Amino acid sequence: MIRTILIYGAPELQTKSSPITDFNDEIKTLAQDMLETMYAAPGIGLAAPQVGINTRLIVLDLSGGEEVGHQVILANPEITEQEGSEKGEEGCLSVPGFTAVVERPVKIHVCWQDIEGCPQEIDAEGLLARALCHEIDHLDGILYLDHISLLKRDLIRRKIRKKARAGEW
């Protein structure tokens, strides 16, 4: 089932999410719905708070569903190591129509649990590292807008307020 993606201004996007302790059917359904919602958007990553659920679950597919075998579901993901920093352009399904350059680590090590609760880990770099950082931030109520310069952030916020006044947000 495709769920509604919340946009900037929704309180769920600025709330710290709770860990998953019970890998029940509800979580499995949520993960499947999130994948469906992400592909429909379309996007390459989605975090549960973006569909209004403050639980530590993210889905990723860097191919955007174009290729099989790229789909990943991560419960309780945690960045345990990080190295370097590089700038790259990011957008977010919850901030539609905007992008900005964000500084992220070059390499990260991430631990998580799969949908059955089994521990997993990966060394990631490049776009995968960036996407993981972006989605994991969502679980802590952080948007990429929180990482950019005050000037650029104010500019985007002003444009969003203008859209809101016009009923377009």
Cα angle, residue 151 at apex, residues 150 and 153 outer, rounded to 5°: 65
End-to-end CA distance of the chain: 23
Map tokens 């005050």 to a residue: 150
Question: Quick check: 92 binds Zn ion (CB under 5 A)?
Answer: yes
Instruction: Please identify, among the stretches 69-77, 89-97, 99-107, 124-132, the one whose residues bind Zn ion according to the rule CB under 5 A.
Output: 89-97
Q: Which is nearer to Zn ion, 24 or 157 (CB)?
A: 157
Q: Compute the distance between CA of residue 75 and CA of residue 59 in angstroms, rounded to an integer.
A: 9
Instruction: Please identify, among the stretches 15-23, 29-37, 84-92, 108-116, the one whose residues bind Zn ion according to the rule CB under 5 A.
Output: 84-92
Half-sphere exposure of 119 (CA within 13 A, CB side): 3
Q: Which is nearer to Zn ion, 72 or 92 (CB)?
A: 92
Question: Quick check: 145 binds Zn ion (CB under 5 A)?
Answer: no
Instruction: Please identify, among the stretches 34-42, 61-69, 86-94, 114-122, the one whose residues bind Zn ion according to the rule CB under 5 A.
Output: 86-94
Q: Which is nearer to Zn ion, 30 or 92 (CB)?
A: 92
Question: Strand 107-113's sheet: what is its strand order?
Answer: 45-47, 57-60, 72-83, 107-113, 119-125
Query: Closest separation between CB of residue 25 and Zn ion, Å?
Result: 26
Q: Which is nearer to Zn ion, 75 or 137 (CB)?
A: 137
Q: Which single residue brings its beta carbon nearest to Zn ion?
A: 92
**Active site members:** 135
Mention every residue, 6+ apart, whose C-beta is less than 8 A from residue 105. 79, 82, 83, 84, 85, 86, 129, 133
Cβ atoms < 10 Å from Cβ of 49 = 27
Query: Closest separation between CB of residue 95 and Zn ion, Å?
Result: 7
Q: Which of residues 13-72 bind Zn ion (CB under 5 A)?
A: none
Handedness of CA 144, 145, 150, 151 (dihedral sign): positive
# chain residues binding Zn ion, by CB under 5 A: 1
Residues that bind Zn ion (CB under 5 A): 92
